[in-house]
Amino acid sequence: MSLVRATLTVVQAVANHMAFTPPNPSNTKQRYHTEEWWVLQIAPFIFKCHLITLWVCALFETLLYLSSLLSTPLPSLPLPTPLQLFLHPLFKLFFPSSTSSIHVTPFFLIGTLSILLGAYIRLDCFRALGQLFTFDLTVHPQHRLITTRFYAYVRHPAYTGSLLLVAGIAFAHLSEGAWLTECGPLSLVPGLNVLVWTLWWVWTLSVGVSRVVAEDQQMKKLFQNEWDQYAVMVPWWFFPGIL
């Protein structure tokens, strides 16, 4: 267990929290695309699960790092002696096994970069749309077509950010060397992390496709020729040249 991994898990949690916190409230009277299956309408709940999961991982990986420090003789620890005496038995109670299995891996670093990039893209979309950006699909009275910044490359970059965040979380925390898979809940059943990753990706992609189809139809109604021209110039939903 290393300080680098513990620090980066906290950075991941902060970035994810910012990216999945609604910048504006949704007006229920302005909503559309409300007839989709309920399993595709639980995105706000899943976003909260993202937040909780990342913060829980950050908490336990940080505690595991401190626990690895407490496995050394007490006088060598950079902590006040009373705090050492209090924390030492506490950590030994909850983390009795070695923490050597929790370590920085290439997948973890790739996941961290993916989370940071996904968060940056989503936050940039928040800035580009301003008051128009809501987590529910809505039409604002002053709605306008945004074609600059990341919207100049793909039509739905906020979903690009979401997909990168989901991929990043999976790479960083559903792979070897993570607390979740080494000694957390996903360590209880072999292969559970692969099943969770697969279901998570299928759901995320299904939600994304369902919403972008509805958004494209709505924007075409609102902006007509302007939208047609934009759709020709920017034909991709999420990733240029791919999808």
35-76 pLDDT tens trace: 877 777 787 788 888 899 999 999 888 888 877 776 554 444
171 near 107, Cβ under 8 Å? yes
For the domain covering 3-24+31-72+80-233, report its CATH number.
1.20.120
pLDDT of residue 71: 58
pLDDT for the residue 75: 44
Which residue ranges of the chain lie beneath pLDDT 70? 1, 70-100
Other beta carbons within 10 Å of 14: 14
Q: Map out the domains of the chain as residue ranges.
A: 3-24+31-72+80-233
Pick from 111, 102, 103, 108: which is nearest to 16 by CA?
Answer: 111
Residue closest to 227 by CA, chosen among 149, 150, 124, 151:
151
Give the pLDDT of residue 41: 78
CA distance 212 to 221: 14
| pLDDT in the model for residue 120 | 98
The residue type at 86:
F
pTM: 0.86
